[in-house]
Structure 1
Amino acid sequence: MNLEKHYDELWENALQKFQASAFEPDPFLNSAEDDRFGLTLLFRPDAAVKESIGAFLQELRQVEPAQYYYPASDLHVTVMSVISCHAGFRLADIDKAAYKNVLQECLAEVKTFRVNFRGITASPSCVMVQGFPASGQLNDLRDKLRESFRKTSLQQTMDSRYILRTAHITAVRFKEPLQNPAVFLEKLQDFRNRSFGGTVVGKVELVYNDWYQRQALVQRVDAFRLNQP
């Protein structure tokens, strides 16, 4: 996949919606009854990247304070949604050790890799920071995960929503209609190609999580160190 082209297409599609004020607020963000949980393999950007994203979000927050801005603790890149979030899923429903064994095998020879974060893109419901892996290791790992899990009888829903090929960080979700959409869009345009820095990924985590990866609800199942090159 040409990531640059893919992010550009997402942006152009979202831009048309934004210019028509056709934002799509998330109806579950304010819901106390949201019962969607899943199992995710992910990594987190380093402190410098989080700080850069935080500065960006602070500028947006000044224009639209009522929207949902991810705190630094919740920023992440999804390696693979092993079990996509769905209502009623509980960690006790699965054999955690069996999942760990598959992941350990898949990750045994994976080396650290770099992801550069540059620019933003969007959908009608959210704003994302664009991630660009410096090598093909991330997608190679994803393919290995797909192959390995499909050989097992373990519960999994990989690629059930879409085939994951990006390395984006979701940073903003729309919670309610925007009050200053034109100014908000100008701010997004200012950061369209801004650099947020890069991260050398040396660890990935398997977590039990809600839809928004909120720290208070996330449970780490295990963490896996990657090999030095």
Structure 2
Amino acid sequence: MTDFAGRFVWYELMTTEPEAAEAFYRSVVGWDAAPFPGGPGGGYTVLSAGGRGTAGLMAIPPEAYQAGARPAWLGYLCVDDVDKAAARLRAAGGAVHLDARSIPGVGRIAMAADPQGAAFYLIAPEGAGEPTPPPGRAGSIDWHELHTTDWEAAFGFYADQFGWAKGEAMPMGPMGTYQLFHAGPGDPEAAGGMMNSPAFPRPAWLYYFHVDGIEQAVSRVEAGGGRVLQGPHEVPGGGWIIQGLDPQGAMFALVGPRR
């Protein structure tokens, strides 16, 4: 059993313009980039922070684009057995959009969605796997946020499938509850939160990339052709966040100190 079961261990941008997207995120987040020809779909770029791989980037396959796929970030949830996890997920009302397949040097993956429609990957890495950079460093992924139509049902699904545990429930007035979750009962720090988001076009996961200064990052987003949708806003703990769209239309978020 991997030590990372039930946790997000990788992140991937599927986009229409890989070279332009790479330039944007290298500027905004500060990631380094290098090709990884053996990745899914052939041409694949690994984005790294501090010499450690953090995320990947690839073109949306033509057949997927024709079927309606658009630029988006997807997270990879680690499991011990992808085939069994996909079967359990289907039985619980989720969907499998890409059947399990093995990628040499990477592991076995499948693309799935929860019962409300938020998409993610399942992965059983080859070998023991390794974690992405810890939160709080430039280029790390600090927070995982589910925007959905029924967070209580969604939490029950992820708890049953991946062993997640509830953290603090934060009241947001007319917006309802923001429920923190831990990626395992023994994890001391929350991994993210979930909430009902009627304004979102469809249920989706939003990932927060750490930057050294949020105001400086806003300037880089705008200079690179992206758009800030919300923020900067202060969040508990003293950090500042923004939510935005990259030039190709994928939604992302940033978190960091105010400078």
**Shared fold by TM > 0.5?**
no
> RCO higher in 1 or 2 (8 Å CA, sep ≥ 6)?
1
How does the TM-score come out when normalised to structure 2? 0.25
TM score, norm. by length of structure 1: 0.27
Normalized per residue, the structure richer in helix is: 1
More strand by share: 2
